[in-house]
Amino acid sequence: MKIHVIITMLALFAVLIAAVWYARKKYKINFAVLGLGAVAFFASSQVLEKIVHLLVLHPQKDGTVPLMTENPLLYVIYGICMAALFEETARLIFFKWLEKKRTLEDSDALAYGLGHGGLELLYLGMGSLISLLILFSLLESSNPDLANLLPQNTLETVQSLSGWQVYLLGVERVLALVMQIGLSFWVYQAVRQKKWIYLVAAYGLHALFDLAPSLSQVGWLSNPLLVEGLLAVEVIIFIYFTKSIFYKKQ
């Protein structure tokens, strides 16, 4: 199983490097904007949003969240709304700030999206895969006591994983990267054109993208192929929809 994890990690890294290289070569993206997009992602979703989660959800020491079992529907609604609120507001603040510094360009949306989505890919995607790699190493260790240190539910989850499910994790991260780039264009256009309906749409679209994974998290969507299939369909429609609205002549 470890080889599947390593292949997925290498593939994700290659996709990100290729995307940044292509964007720099063809669209002359600004690396400073890319870096600030990464900072905005981390500050909004991994710091501020996590603080709110600690205050509202009261996660237990074992990582369980009471609301998830007591009221899964409310947990799903809360989760998708908070993710949309923090990440899209971070985009809004950034583009409003950048607009005061200079004229906004289309490449800024691309650069920000690559920074935001790229760090998400590395931090969440690679982080999960590294954790899996460590867990598989523990399970394959000649010392059985090491595996016994793991919680039983974690053991069962890892042992039930198949190679194709590991690759699905990679597919989900790539879809998320595309989504983050696309949403950056919506907020960018909202600021540039002063059409705030685009910002409202970005909040709603972000929540929609997070819906299937959230339903899977509470056990209401148990088939990972269905979850990723829904995400893929949503992203394809989203790309077409975004291009038809903002770039009809291109």
pLDDT in tens, 185-207: 999 999 999 999 999 999 999 99
For residues 80 and 60, what is the distance between their CA atoms, to the nearest angstrom? 21
Per-residue pLDDT, 149 = 61
For residues 35 and 187, what is the distance between their CA atoms, to the nearest angstrom? 18
Kind plus residue range of the DSSP H or E element containing 48: none
pTM across the whole model: 0.92
Residue 15 tokens read as 């996709």
For residues 205 and 210, what is the distance between their CA atoms, to the nearest angstrom? 9
DSSP 3-state assignment of 243?
Answer: helix
* Residue 96 burial (CB count, 10 A): 13
Report residue 103: phi and psi, to 5°.
Answer: -70, 135
Residue 29 tokens read as 């993206």
CB of 138 closer than 8 Å to CB of 130:
no
The number of CA neighbours under 13 Å toward the Cβ of 59 is 10
Tell me the percentage of the chain whose pLDDT exceeds 90.
78
Residues of the chain below pLDDT 50: none
Per-residue pLDDT, 152 = 64
pLDDT digit string, tens, across residues 206-244: 999 999 999 999 999 989 999 999 999 999 999 999 999
For residues 87 and 17, what is the distance between their CA atoms, to the nearest angstrom? 23
CB of 109 closer than 8 Å to CB of 243:
no
Residue 119 tokens read as 């760090």
For residues 43 and 67, what is the distance between their CA atoms, to the nearest angstrom? 25
For residues 139 and 141, what is the distance between their CA atoms, to the nearest angstrom? 5
Per-residue pLDDT, 222 = 86
